[in-house]
Structure 1
């Protein structure tokens, strides 16, 4: 981002690096900002590098891959600081970023739409803010095992004659979803209503890394924003994925979410644990498969996790039982409703929230104000919504801000913020 001298408005320029002299073409002017296209780099930053990815220009997913890692860390920390200042009025200290030791080949999951390109089945991505499909032949941030298995799965699907789904034809592959933990891969074929040939399933199971195959059947009535359809079929192998995280053994079903960087997930959870004070009751909203709650088991007499995805709650309960954690429990339901119900009966010492990128909904903000926890540990992947939510939580002040780099090469910023109630 730069500031145009003529108007004083911020100008957002994808692919530019702070400190560079560039020639741009303004594409859109809004009341408070402008967006522009980079035409030419006149004087390059010392932080600029040649992107090690053939799809960089078309894909756009790794929006910082043209910046060296030190530059990426600087840019992300600056974005976090600016967001906290702009929306929450916070000008205090932000701790140094906890760096990612593996800046490539770290992503343990992929969700790639399918399309026919020159009559060949391909998986890829859509260009940002468009419906233009870009086939991706290799991804620099997927784990090596995930990429190897993806290529072999696609070869099998092509050889079988499978086509991509289209609105004009029934059947076909809509999306390929894969997860990899501890060298084991789960394959989920998201399709239009159709039967998968058992021979295809058998061939996929013969890939050494693959331990599980599922089919998700999605209809045109299913929301496009949701990855899976309502019907999930277990075709072969293990029903759940398992992984070792620190001292804990975790399992998850296909619909259950886990952090996309396994190594840094452990660091993130340890950061939350270190920032959480001891108390009688800790409540975690959006608790997923229970990882954070389990890491906090020795911080309170009782931990309650709240999660809206039923499969994740099932996994969380099984995980707590398997790891012998008797003071950790999980409930299924709306986070705001359940938090208020808990607060009606008990004092909440610390509330841990790890919401989606959209942040806390207004209903949840009201529930937090009702519950009045002494402390809040806010885990965020979006500095803008983080700062806006902190501003809305009027009775709390920031005690510590700790950024953690989880999504290297991308502009995503993860941060853990400790908030304390001001009347304590």
Structure 2
């Protein structure tokens, strides 16, 4: 048993059965690099900041595939060519805060420049053709505006700089359409295994559940659906009569999920831009699902959504909980006394760290 598996099992003693952990490569696995820009216009660094706020260069970091690392030197040169002034965190001056690079399995790229203001936009637009010539794998470019001095990776405003605004990223059996402000699991290989596992467990529910086995059409909600990974995999299953609804607060993510469903011809998948907790609590009992998939942020589901799940209508008999924080998952399971864990599986989504993704299947007691 790995140390990570032992820690998770100790945190979740109510889970009776654990499948073999899902793993992937331990290097070159991250599909997204979020680089802090520091230094000077003539000598910029792309990486992280040290304790004094100085840049530490990571352009050859082994976490990223070659499609990303090969683009970082041209991006560094672009900072100089376009006269972009790196943001100096201690001094609180400068313009360019971060460069984000996302890749897919084909090596195509989405690039974002996170800026303090629009001051640099004319120069970025002017020199962008040179960058696209230097890195022909770039498909999507945008600028994000983050005016405040804060420990954030992006702001609310996104300015498209290329006609294409979506990067197709295949994870598992479905091609997701990543947008600049949308959520995307960073380990494509392990994410595919996670989505495939949920789809397999849902198919098993249809075989084992007396109501669904009798010919009832599965109705499933995917709360905190992001770009739709779980919902799209379930909708793409062998039973086209399934009714799948994904709910997400990010407009960019919902738009990407809708586009992906349309491109794949998944007419049974619907996506809603809303707060997951508020939306679930507002639905009438006769619209309740047979199964719910939840993939909340690190803080977990919270008291109100746990309360709704524990008192959900009788039709709702199955719950699949995917978590990037086993500690908050453990708290939520304690807040769900009406649900019984069936089995779990660890997904090594974040190699070389202590973080893991955990999937637990539950049924109503």
State the TM bucket, normalised to the shorter chain.
0.7 to 0.9
Q: Does 1:308 align with 2:249?
A: yes
Residue number in structure 2 paired with 1:382: 325
Aligned to 1:201: 128
- In the TM superposition, what is the alpha-carbon distance from 1:413 to its structure 2 partner? 0.9
Distance in 1 (CA, whole Å) between partners of 2:43 and 2:282 is 54
Gaps in structure 1 of 5+ consecutive residues: 1-72
Aligned partner of residue 363 in structure 1, secondary structure? helix
Separation of aligned partners in 2, 1:82 and 1:249: 35
TM-score, normalised to structure 1's length? 0.75
Moved more, 298-307 or 334-343: 298-307
TM-score, normalised with respect to structure 2:
0.87
Match of 1:248? 174
Partner of residue 36 from structure 2, selected from 113, 119, 123: 113
Q: Highest Rg: 1 or 2?
A: 1
Deviations 1:259-303 (A, max 9, x none): 101122111101111122225311110111112111112366311
Who is 1:42 aligned against? none
Quick check: 1:152 aligned with 2:152?
no
What is the Cα deviation at residue 162 of structure 1?
2.2
| Cα distance in 1 between the residues matched to 2:270 and 2:349 | 27
The RMSD of aligned alpha carbons is 2.3
Tell me the residue number matched to 2:10.
82
| Counterpart Cα distance in 2 of 1:335 and 1:326 | 22
For the structure 1 residues 387 and 130, does the alpha-carbon distance in structure 2 shift closer, same or farther, using more than 3 Å as the test? Answer: farther
Could you say what secondary structure the match of 1:296 adopts?
helix
Query: Which of 312, 336, 340 is equivalent to 2:281?
Result: 340
- Residue equivalent to 1:286: 224
Shift of residue 256, structure 1, vs aligned partner: 0.7
Aligned partners of 2:247, 2:147: CA distance in 1, in Å? 29
Aligned residues: 342
Higher helix share: 2
1:234 shift after superposition: 1.1
Alpha carbons of 1:327 and 1:97: their partners in 2 closer, same or farther (altered >3 Å)? same
Once superposed, which parts of structure 1, at least 4 consecutive aligned residues long, lie more than 6 Å away?
Answer: none
Partner Cα distance (1:236, 1:187) in 2: 10
If each structure's strand is expressed as a fraction of its own residues, which one has the higher value?
1
After superposition, give the CA deviation of every residue in 1:77-109 in whole Å (9 maximum; x if it has no partner): 111112113xxxx26332221221x22101000
Instruction: Classify 1:301/1:78 alpha carbon distance in 2 versus 1 (closer, same or farther; 3 Å).
Output: same
SS at match of 2:147: coil
Local SS of the residue matching 1:105: coil
Equivalent in 23, 28, 37 of residue 99 of structure 1: 23
Task: Note the C-alpha offset of 1:320.
Answer: 1.2
Alpha-carbon distance in 2 for matches of 1:318, 1:119: 41
Q: What is the rounded CA distance, in whole Å, between the counterparts of 2:137 and 2:347 in structure 1?
A: 30
| In the alignment, structure 1 residue 402 sits paired with structure 2 residue 345 | yes
Q: Which residue of 2 aligns with 1:191?
A: 115
User: What is residue 304 of structure 2 aligned with on the other side?
Assistant: 363
Q: Is the 8 A contact 1:283 1:351 kept in 2?
A: yes
